[in-house]
Amino acid sequence: ADPLEAIMWLTSVGEPGQLYDTVKSLREARGRRLGALQRKLPPTHFGLLATLGFLVLLVFPLLAAATGAAVAPEDGLIQVQAVRPPASPIE
């Protein structure tokens, strides 16, 4: 049972009043709305997740091929982060 409903039931004198009925009806309506939402969305969520996974698998090889072509060893782009020996002093 709901803790708020239990407190309201225990602290009421006689039968719980209109506030108890209002809280109970609001929580029941909320439960129905959430239940309806949870029944409808999982297929949509899995569809979006599958679409995202497909796009990642489709784009990854293209990006890897483009990066490999752009960073060819003869271009010197890989040496940007390389440690170079100190330059010789000017004589």
- 45-76 as b/e: b if 16+ CB within 10 A: eeeeeeeeeeeeeeeeeeeeeeeeeeeeeeee
pLDDT of 24: 81
Per-residue pLDDT tens digits for 38-74: 776 788 888 999 999 999 999 988 887 777 666 666 6
More confidently predicted of 17 and 64: 64
Q: Which pLDDT score is estimated for 82?
A: 54
